[in-house]
């Protein structure tokens, strides 16, 4: 077994142990978890809410949610940072939308939200510095337009049309950029050298 993979497994099992302690009500485990991931959660919160106070509230809410609903995390199905990133983004979107309170909220977004369970545990096993470096490398391969289109959709909750207006690009181009970016991200997860658990199809 390659060293990197061994580390990943060790890291995953360490995280599972940490979560088990949290499930047992261990505050120090919760503090350790906070020390480890508060910078990640806060980074996403700041990127999405652009407000230090709101971001700190979200940070606190996220770790409280982990504390209260620790059983939702399934280490066998996904890595902890991925779970935390997904949860943070989902809750930040909730806040952004309730802040906007626009009556004409796009029906599409609501229906899509109903389709996708925000608590569904991702099946990826990505974790650790090595994988984050690999993701950063892969993202660097996206064009500036592709990446900003994808980030505007993910972090800023903009529709394709809004992104097209923001970037001054045709709608079709924006869709293509987002689609290519998404597929590339998915491939990062599915094609893992030396890993038997590849594409689910």
Partner 1 sequence: MTCDRRNDLALFAALEALEADELAELNAAREHECPPLARVDADAQAALAQLGLALPDVTPPAGAKARFLARLGAAPAPAVAAPVLSVVSTPALGSAAAPTTAAAPTTAAATSQVGGPGGGMRPAGTRPPARRVASLAAAFALLLAALIPGVLLFEGTAQRSDELTAQAERQSHAATRLAERERTMDVATRHLENATRQLAGLEQSLSARQQDYENARRAAATAIAEREEALEQLTATKDKARLQTTRADRAEARLAVQQQAVADAQKRLVTADAALAALRSPQMRIITLAAGPKAGKAWGRIVWDQQAATWNLVALDLPPAAAGRTYELWFITDKQEKIAAGTFNVNAKGEGALAVNIPAGIGSLAVAAVTDEPAGGVAAPTGSIQLVGQL
Site for partner 1 in 73-92 (CB under 8 A): 77-78, 81-83, 85-86, 88-89
Instruction: Report the C-alpha gap between 191 and 187 in whole angstroms.
Output: 6
* Position 36 contacts partner 1 (CB under 8 A): no
Using the contact rule CB under 8 A, the part of the chain among 2-10, 12-20, 114-122 near partner 1 is 114-122
DSSP state of 192: -
Helix 144-155 to helix 27-49 angle (10° resolution) is: 120
Number of H helices, E strands in the chain: 9, 0
Q: How far is the CB of 159 from partner 1 (least distance, A)?
A: 7
Distance CA 198, CA 107 (A): 35
- Shortest reach from residue 148's CB to partner 1, in Å: 11
Let me know: does 55 contact 42? Beta carbons within 8 Å: yes
Separation between Cα atoms, residue 88 and residue 158, nearest integer Å:
17
- Of 42, 156, 169, 176, which one interacts with partner 1 (CB under 8 A)? 42
Among 14, 17, 27, 170, binds partner 1 (CB under 8 A): 27
User: Which of 5, 7, 16, 40 touches partner 1 by CB under 8 A?
Assistant: 40
Candidate residues 20, 52, 105, 191; the one interacting with partner 1 per rule CB under 8 A = 52
| Residue 105 makes contact with partner 1 by CB under 8 A | no
> Total binding residues for partner 1 by CB under 8 A?
76
By the rule CB under 8 A, 130 interacts with partner 1: no
**CA 159 centroid distance within chain:** 18
Residue from 121, 166, 167, 173 binding partner 1 (CB under 8 A): 121
By CB under 8 A, the residues from 152 to 181 that bind partner 1 are 153-155, 157, 159-160, 178-179
Number of alpha carbons in the 13 Å side-chain half-sphere of residue 105: 16
- Rounded Cα distance, 201 and 190, in Å: 10
How near is the Cβ of 40 to partner 1 at its closest, in Å? 6
Give the span between the Cα atoms of 88 and 106, in whole angstroms. 22
Q: Which of 101, 117, 141, 196 binds partner 1 (CB under 8 A)?
A: 117
């Amino acid at each position: 077994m390659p060293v990197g993979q061994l580390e990943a497994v060790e890291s995953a099992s360490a995280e599972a142990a940490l979560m088990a302690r949290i499930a047992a009500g261990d505050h120090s485990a919760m503090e350790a978890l906070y020390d480890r991931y508060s910078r990640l959660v806060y980074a996403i919160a700041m990127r999405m809410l652009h407000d230090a106070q709101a971001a700190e509230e979200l940070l606190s809410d996220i770790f409280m949610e982990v504390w209260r609903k620790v059983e939702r995390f399934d280490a066998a199905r996904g890595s902890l940072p991925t779970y935390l990133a997904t949860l943070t983004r989902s809750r930040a979107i909730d806040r952004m939308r309730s802040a906007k309170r626009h009556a004409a909220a796009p029906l599409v977004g609501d229906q899509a939200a109903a389709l996708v369970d925000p608590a569904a545990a991702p099946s990826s096993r990505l974790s650790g510095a090595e994988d984050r470096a690999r993701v950063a490398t892969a993202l660097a391969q996206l064009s500036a337009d592709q990446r900003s289109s994808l980030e505007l959709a993910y972090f800023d909750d903009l529709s394709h049309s809004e992104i097209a207006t923001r970037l001054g690009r045709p709608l079709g181009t924006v869709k293509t950029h987002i689609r290519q970016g998404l597929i590339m991200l998915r491939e990062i997860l599915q094609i893992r050298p030396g890993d038997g658990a590849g594409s689910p199809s």
